Structure formats: C-alpha cells, structure tokens
Structure 1
C-alpha cells in the first residue's frame, strides 16, 4: 500500500474488484419480509398458498402416515419455516414454506431407531460419469 501526501491510503493491489472497476450494485430494500409466525403468515394469501402447496406435496409424496401413539409417548412437534426466493434482479420469484419436525426432541431407541436421508447431487453423478469416461469404462458391464 502506498500513501500520498494527504495521508490517504490508496489500494494498488493488482486484483481487480468490482468497486475498483466502478461497478456498484444498488441495494434495494424489499417491500416484503419473511414472516416469523404462522399467525402473521395466515393473513397473507401468497404465504397461505405456499403453505397449502407444501402440505399437498407432502400428502402426494406419502411423506408421512397418520398413526395412533402408544401409551406414554408424546408426538414430536413441528414448525413452519418461511423464506423468499428472489430473481437475479431482486424481485420475488417464489414464496417458499417448509414444515420441519423438531427432531432434536427425539431420543434414539425410544422415538426412532435410525434416521437416514440419502442425497445425491447431480454434480456428483456427473463427476462419476466423467471419471468412467476418462478411464474407458463407458462400455463395460458388471
């Protein structure tokens, strides 16, 4: 860093950042905010529709089954989580609602035996396919 006569620090690093190039993204304050309670959410038709869509998706995918609780057991609670999905121009693309269980209340061996959620990202599959192609394994079968 160099200083000039007025003791103002000048950045002479070779890295070119947006601000150095004169590119400044304007901050836009959103008119809509993410709700923090279900009570506030039920007043807005967009959030209500997002909640209904999520419940319909859970039922359509057979995510859960309604059962009677054995004696001495209590149900695990759940809560709604809300977030706004934005476009690149900071406009609202989607109101998203999720219903999540409070799994931290579960006791292993009492409430559940094991929890497992397999996730495979598309990039992982692409890497495996590319590796097989490079190794010449695309025409082999097992």
Structure 2
C-alpha cells in the first residue's frame, strides 16, 4: 500500500495525511519508546490509506492510518490481556433516562 500511495498522483497529499497521523499519535501519547529485549523484535506496522468521498462522489479528504500488524503478536510476549470497552445502546438509553429523571426531580444532575 505504501508503494502504491507514493507512486500515486496524489503522493504529496498522502504524505501530508501521514504527517498529520504521526503528529496526532505524538500529541495523544499513543506509544512510549522503550528498549526491547534482545530476544524479541518489535511488532510490525503498516500504513492504511483511504480516500473520503462526499455526497457528489468527489474526494473530500485523504486519510492515512498507521496500524500494528496484530497477526504477528504473541500472547504474553507482545501483549497480555486485551480489553475494549463498548457500551450497548440500551445501556446508554437507560443512563440518559435516569439522568433526565434526576434532573426533573432535583433540578440538576449532581
């Protein structure tokens, strides 16, 4: 994908999107640099590119994402447990209803 993006007519735009992604990762402190153990190499990564299109089909944005090659990770070597919290829609609806009810009773959410 990287070679394709760099040989594309929009290569300058792809480079700008990649720069923006790296700046975003830096400002959000996505990673911490560490010295890896000698017997273990780093997890690989790759760039994923996507053109965003508007309702008329015209390109509106270029997105570049740096992603880890998760297929190369090994349990208890590259990661321990994984967890991704996702709220169910019904749970959010219940919380909003409770908040609305508390506002009606007490006049504010405390």
List runs of 5+ in structure 2 lacking aligned partners: none
**What TM-score, normalized to structure 2?**
0.77
Offset at 1:40?
A: 3.0
- Who is 2:13 aligned against? 46
Asked if 1:128 corresponds to 2:66, the answer is no
Aligned residues: 104
List runs of 5+ in structure 1 lacking aligned partners: 1-36
Pairing of 1:61-100 with structure 2 (within 5 A): 61-100=28-67
Offset at 1:129?
A: 4.2
- Pair 1:53–1:85, CA change in 2 (3 A): same
Aligned partner of residue 84 in structure 1, secondary structure: strand
Question: Which protein is richer in helix relative to its size?
Answer: 2
Structure (1 or 2) with the larger CA radius of gyration: 1
Offset at 1:108?
A: 1.3
Regions of 4+ moved over 6 Å = none
Greater RCO (CA < 8 Å, at least 6 residues apart): 2
- Pair 1:50–1:124, CA change in 2 (3 A): farther
**What TM-score, normalized to structure 1?**
0.61
- Pair 1:126–1:111, CA change in 2 (3 A): closer
- Pair 1:84–1:120, CA change in 2 (3 A): farther
- CA deviations over 1:80-113 (Å, ceiling 9, x no partner): 1111111111111110011110112111112211
